[in-house]
Structure formats: structure tokens, C-alpha cells
Structure 1
Amino acid sequence: MRRIRAAAAVVVTVSTLAGATACGGGSEAGGSNESPKTLTYWASNQGPNIPADKKILTPELQKFEKQTGIKVKLEVVPWADLLKRILAATTSGQGPDVLNIGNTWSASLQATGALLPWDKKNFDAIGGRDRFVDAAVASAGAEDKDPSAVPLYSLSYALYYNKKMFADAGISKPPATWDELVADGRKISKNGTSGKWGLGAEGGNLSNNIHQAFVLAKQHGADFFDASGKPTFTSPGAVAAVKQYVDFMGKDKIIAPGNAEYAQNQSLSDFSKGKTAMVLWQAAASTFASQGMKPEDWGAAPVPVQSGTPGQGKQVDSMVAGINMAVFKNTKNTKGALQFVKFMTSTDEQQILNKAYGSVPPVTAAQSDPAFNSPGVKVLKDTLTNSAAPLPQVASESQFETTVGTAIKGLWADAAAGKAITTESVKAALTKAQQQMTQ
């Protein structure tokens, strides 16, 4: 997701999800076959702040109202609150007609039965499934079921770097491997004595913790779930991945200790202010611009790998990130909701919105715009095509983000406090997280 970030703050069991009921939305219409007068829409915070999202979305919603006569009541929900709000809506019956969800939550929310399944009939109502990139649709729910949502914005991770800080440190190109990243980071951080830091992180951002640990685990030949969906958090590869990530602060000293408590976007702020030289993030161009950075101030490169180069059959260097658009199953506005999804996923709107957010259109025809071949966006697009993998499409994925994300947060706190991060301490934290999954 852009950001599929600090999302899961509630522990959700599969049994709770399976027993949840859908919500009705705010329709002024009497039923799904009537032409609704209004729709309620929960949008995710995609831009640098909520006012920026409202500025981007409002004229497009007004355009939709002019075309259809349907007014869209917009609420932009922060990522830290979005999953909690959605889960509360599935049980309370009070929620929107249409909403954005992080694509990593698709299988979890699909298991509630609350979302409208995107079968052939519903896909046909918005122009057909074949308009969308296959990988984006594959991240919209379990493989053996109709997708629970439709792709809206596609994303992957990139390594963003400050060109001036690199030049000042005598670094001529971005690192391609983690060893190179650590070496470059040490040149800048100078063991924590320079006043600047090599890499930014967000230890308090549970979903970001998961995204980085997932990629490193794939590079160590591990997954966090087996083929049957059973958690395997304590496998040697998973433990090595989490340790490697937290070691950037504890052992390598290229991340500031204060990052252990950072939440959403704080690492981007430090990067924009020249406090850190590198950051691992999804589409960040709009945030950098809002904080005074010029396009020539920063560069974007593929996320490093253990050795060699990223690419299919080589090494994964990103999770398949993105935002999906879902409809609550028992909305009284089904017809209007489908019209709205069709509008938002039309080629023209896909180009407008994805350009505004610096993301990649999951609608293939929209990618023809030259804007999506700019250096920053091209890295994201190439990564999605060649070297990204979807997070586990299991019903307990949201709980995974909470339990393992929290375990990593605790390890960050230990590293910041100067405690040794050992294989044993990482395994103990992940063992506790795995036990919580089975309760």
C-alpha cells in the first residue's frame, strides 16, 4: 500500500474475522437497484498529509458528481486508524459504501464476508478484469476466490538517496547490496558522531516493519507462513532477516536510535531535511516536494539485495504494494458504488491520480503516459514487474502485521537502548509473536 504503513494496531483472530458482518453505508437511496443520490467514501491517506489528499481528490469527486448526479461524501482516514475503522465497521453496521484498503489486508478482510466479491459480473460493470495488471489483481484476495477489491494505486519500494550527502561523502552511486548500503551508511554516520545518519527507519510503524522484514526474509530463502497458511515466524531465515534489519541500528550504527519510536512519515521528514541520506519507501516524490526538496536533490534506485541484482528468479527486493478499492457487500448503493469504482479506475482518472501520488497505475492502458517513465516512477514500475512478491494472502495477514510488527518494534527499542540484538533474542520475540497468532 502507499503506504501500507502503520496500519494494524489491533490483534484480529481469524474466528473474529469470519464472524463479522458487513455494514450498510450512508445511502439516501432505498436499495441497490435504485439510482443513489450519495455515496460515502473512506479514502486512505496517500499524500504528505490529509489536506493534500482532499485537495487532490475533491475536484475528481466533483467531476464524478457532474457526470452522474451522485455526490460523494469524502473522509480521508489516516493509515494508523484505517484498519481499526474498517474492522469496527464490519461489526457495527456503521461505515462507508466504498473504501480504500491496503492490498496486504485483502485476504483478511475477504474472510469477514463484508466486502463485495469482484466476480465476472462486477468486473464487467467496470470494464473488465483484463484492464488490470495481473499482479495487482493477484494481491486483492486469496487465490481460489473472487478478489475482494479492485486495484487503485500500485506501488513498490525503492531506495531514495540524497545526492548531495552522497557526493559530500565521496559516494558515486547508490548501493546495490546491503553490504554496500552499510558501508555507505557508515561513511555518512561515522559511528553516530557526524550528526547525520546513513539510513532512516520507522520502528513504531508496524506495517513498514513487516514490509522490510518480509523482503529480507525472501532474500534469506524464508517465508513467514507455510503453504497451508501456518505461521513459521521462527524459521532460521525469518530470524536472520529481522536481525539484519534491526542490526542497521544496533550493530552497524547507520540508523539514529530515535528512529526506534518513529511513526508514519517521520523518516521522510528527516530525509527531506538532510538529516539522513537514504530511506526505503514507496512513492515518496510528493512528500519530498511538499517538504521543499527539488527533484534534482534526490535519486531513486532499486532496494538492495544480499548479492547480485534484483529480478525474477534472482532476489526479491520489494513486496507488491498498493491500494485497492472495495465496496461493502450490503451497501444500499451497489449500482452507484460500481459507477464510482468504474470512474476511479478509468484510464483518465488513473493517470490523474497516480501522477498526483507518484504511484503506478494498475490499469495497463493508463501506463502509456510518459509521466510513468520518469526516473523515480520507473524504478517502482520496473520493480513491480521484475522483482516484487506479494505478502502472504492468508486470512490472518492483518494479525501477522500486528504481532510481528510489534515484535520488531520491541527489538528496535532494545537496539536504541544499547542492548545486544542476538539471534536468540530475535527468535524469542518472534516465538512470542507466533504464540499470539494461535491464541
Structure 2
Amino acid sequence: MRILRAAIVTATATALAAVTSGCGGGTSPGGAGDDSPTTLTYWASNQGPNVEADKKILGPELKKFERQTGIKVKLEVIPWPDLLNRILTATTSGQGPDVLNIGNTWSASLQATGALLPWNKENLAAIGGRGRFLAPALDATGVAGKDPAAIPLYSLAYALYYNKQMFKDAGISKPPATWDELVADGKRIAKNGKWGLGAEGGQLTNNIHQAFALGKQHGADFFDRSGRPAFTSDGAVAAVKQYIDFMAKDRIIAPGNAEYGQNQSLRDFATGRTAMVLWQAAATTFAADGMKPDEWGVAPVPVPSGTPGTGRQTNSMLAGINIAVFKNTHNLHGARKFVKFMTSDGEQRLLNKTYGSIPPVTAAQQDPAFNRQDTKVLRETLARSATPLPQIAEESQFETSVGTAIKDLFADAAAGHPVTTASVKARLAKAEQQMTK
């Protein structure tokens, strides 16, 4: 039988108690209400090149909201490596924000805690209704058949970014469409201190995103039809080994990438140390590191056939950021107003344009900015070849257990230890044991 790890079990058990103990902007008991009608606390995820950049981007928009509504928003931008733990702590302690951003893959896990406001018909009507949002984005807002636990804010998919000059210098005329081509191109480039592909082996969520898409290509979902972990299936093992082999066998990823965290591989790419990187939306980070738009190109993530699509041709998890409200906020009216503001057509165009992501609000996609080379690839991937991660309560545990297994395998590769099918399966078996009893 599946179980949650201790932290999530605790969150589930205590979050319901937390809704009467003061989570959100106010301090009075009794759950959601409007005891603090002129203030909101907002936890934003780090979408730009760094936390300070996000503050500069969001600051004027929060002032705009304050002018429109009289509600002041206290902003905290939280880096991705810290965000999930901060949220889980808030659900158990009752000390958290009114409104927060979450990775869309966490929707079902956080929904299971009972700490997030369900977006029922009344709450959805307050922000303009369900019909404003793209259906695939809504698929990643919680368990199917239940009211959404959050609302889509920024939609993302993975793409392959490549350095045009490094490709030209290596005599490569076009970006790779298959993994064999990517490895061959990477080997032509990986010499004299340059590397073919970047990775962030120390970042658990990115590890999962890459393994999940490769898993689909190997016919694996990491969970069976009954929802039980299947981390040691032949397809799951092959997918993880393929990813680690880019460092261990093919030697197109630098060993130092085994320890990389958020955005470090993007800096290597922007400064000409690495020729390719698999990422969601990276234009603002490249620019912050001095790379000009005409110096990089973008293409769909490779698939075995060379043509992305569904099933074994999936080339990205359906990525994105959702915005949620803590169930016991003491400014429910203001929190809904803020979500409506952040998902308005104008803010969706502005913020997604700035971050290089795709608006999950249909009307906002009409802006020409979302038909540029890079955003067009992301938009088409979302529509044709991206698949949501499993919307199950244990998803955040999946990210932690399998993400850590991949991190440890990268460490083995970086240290020169053999990475075999057996060693990969052993790491994944340990991760599976952490999920089951």
C-alpha cells in the first residue's frame, strides 16, 4: 500500500488543524475570512535569473494592484530548492502566506494536506470562470474529479537551447532531433574545456523532469495503473541510465554538473562553456549573464524518432507555476482579488512575456511575443508533446526519492564509479522502498 513520507503525513494530519490556528495574513481563529482586509502576504517562486530580478519585475505590479484595490502585498521570493519545504512547513505550523506560487507538479500533494483553498464554482467565478484557462494547464491543478487546488499562472515546457557559434565551430549545421544526434554533436564539441550538454544533477526537481520525459520514451510512467510505484521497471531504469550516461558513458556533461543547483548550467551555457542545455524558459537568464538573443537557438527536446508527439514521442513534462490561496487566509476576498489580478489578460501578457513562459489564459496568448522562435517551440510542445506528471498525493515524495537517487547516481559518475543497469536499479529500488510498505 502506498504511504506518504513522514513530513507529508504530518502535513496531512495537521494542516486541517492549522486552518483554525492562524495560517495566512491575520491571527484570529475560525478559518478563512476578511479579518485583515488591507494586507496580503505573497510567496512568489523564483522565475527570473535571481531573486532580486523577480522583486524588480513583480514590485511594480504589486503596487499597481495596491492602487487598484487598496490592498498592500508583502512579497517574498523563494528559490526553488527551498520552496517545497517552506510550503510543507507552513501547512503543518499554520504560519504561512495568504497567496503563494507552487510548482504545478505539487498540486495534488498539497491538495491532500487540506491546507489550500479549493477553487469551487464560486471561487472560480470570482476570477472569471474556468473557461478562461487552457485545459492542459488545468489538468495539472490537482486530482482529477476534485475542485482545483490552485490556478495556472505560468505555463512551461522543456526545450533544447543551443549555442549557434559553438555549433558552427564544430561544423554542426542544425540542432539534433534524436538522442543519437545529440550525443554525436555533444562529443564533437566536448573538448578543450568545452562541454556538449549542461545538467543540474544537484536539483531534484530537474532530475525528475528529465527522467519522466525519458521514461515516457521508454514506455514507463514510474507508477503502474493502480498508482503503485514502479521505479524499477525496465523502462524506468533505462530512462534514468540514459540520462546519467550523458556524463558517465558519453562524457558530454562535465563531472562538476553533478553538484549543480538552480541555474548553474544556464550560466555555463550563457558564458560559452556548454553548447546545449535542456530547460523550460531561459531567455531572461541568458540575457542576465550577457548572452545576446541571436547567439542561441532553440529546438524541441529530442525523441527517438526525431518527431515529437504523444506516448513514446513525449519530450517534456507539462511544466508550469500555479497560484494558490491558503484555506485559512484572513483576507479571502483580497486573496481572490489578487489571483484575479495575476491571471488577468493584461498581467498574463506582461508577466509571461517577461519570463519567457506561456500564458495559461487563452486570450493572453494572442500577443505576438508568444510566437517568437523560443516561445513558439514551448507553445507547440505544450499543445502536442508534453504530459503532466502524475497528479497523485505522493508526487512530491516521488520528486524527493527518485530525484535524490538520480543525484546520487550523478555523484557516482562524477567520481568515476561505474554506472550500470544494476546500480541504477538498486538506487531506484531504494527510492521505491521509501514510498511503499
> What TM-score, normalized by structure 2, do the two folds share?
0.95
Please, which of 188, 197, 200 is the counterpart of residue 199 of structure 1? 197
- Aligned equivalents of 1:182 and 1:201: distance in 2? 14
Please, which of 234, 245, 263 is the counterpart of residue 265 of structure 1? 263
Residue 146 (structure 2) aligns with: 145
Cα offset, 1:305, TM superposition: 0.6
Tell me if structure 1 keeps the 8 A contact 2:219–2:312.
Answer: no
| Paired residues for 1:7-406 under 5 Å | 15-21=9-15, 22=18, 24-27=23-26, 32-33=33-34, 36-189=37-190, 193-312=191-310, 315-406=313-404
- Aligned equivalents of 2:311 and 2:254: distance in 1? 34
Runs of 4+ off more than 2 Å: 10-18, 27-31
- Measured on the aligned residues, the alpha-carbon RMSD in Å equals 1.5
Tell me if structure 1 keeps the 8 A contact 2:269–2:275.
Answer: yes
For residues 27-78 of structure 1, give each alpha carbon's deviation from its aligned partner in whole angstroms, at most 9, with x where no partner exists. 3899725671100000000000011000000000000000000000000011
- Aligned equivalents of 2:425 and 2:310: distance in 1? 29
SS of the residue 1:305 aligns to: coil
SS of the residue 1:67 aligns to: helix
Cα offset, 1:25, TM superposition: 1.1
- Aligned equivalents of 1:274 and 1:86: distance in 2? 36
Unaligned runs of 5+ in 1: 1-9
Tell me if structure 1 keeps the 8 A contact 2:10–2:92.
Answer: no
- Aligned equivalents of 1:364 and 1:128: distance in 2? 12
For residues 163-208 of structure 1, give each alpha carbon's deviation from its aligned partner in whole angstroms, at most 9, with x where no partner exists. 000000000000000000000000001xxx4210000001100010
Unaligned runs of 5+ in 2: none
- Aligned equivalents of 1:34 and 1:420: distance in 2? 60
Tell me if structure 1 keeps the 8 A contact 2:109–2:393.
Answer: yes
Cα offset, 1:438, TM superposition: 1.9
Cα offset, 1:398, TM superposition: 0.5
- Aligned equivalents of 1:78 and 1:261: distance in 2? 17
Cα offset, 1:313, TM superposition: 5.3
Cα offset, 1:437, TM superposition: 1.1
- Aligned equivalents of 1:160 and 1:73: distance in 2? 35
Tell me if structure 2 keeps the 8 A contact 1:13–1:399.
Answer: no
For residues 321-342 of structure 1, give each alpha carbon's deviation from its aligned partner in whole angstroms, at most 9, with x where no partner exists. 0000000001111111000000
Tell me if structure 1 keeps the 8 A contact 2:14–2:91.
Answer: yes
Going from structure 1 to structure 2, the CA distance change for 1:14 and 1:225 (only over 3 Å counts) comes to: farther
Tell me if structure 2 keeps the 8 A contact 1:29–1:37.
Answer: no
Tell me if structure 2 keeps the 8 A contact 1:150–1:326.
Answer: yes
SS of the residue 2:313 aligns to: coil
SS of the residue 2:147 aligns to: coil
Q: Which amino acid aligns with 1:167?
A: K
Please, which of 408, 413, 416 is the counterpart of residue 415 of structure 1? 413
- Aligned equivalents of 2:52 and 2:36: distance in 1? 30
SS of the residue 2:14 aligns to: coil
- Aligned equivalents of 2:5 and 2:187: distance in 1? 37
SS of the residue 1:311 aligns to: coil
Tell me if structure 2 keeps the 8 A contact 1:224–1:238.
Answer: yes
Q: Which amino acid aligns with 2:352?
A: N
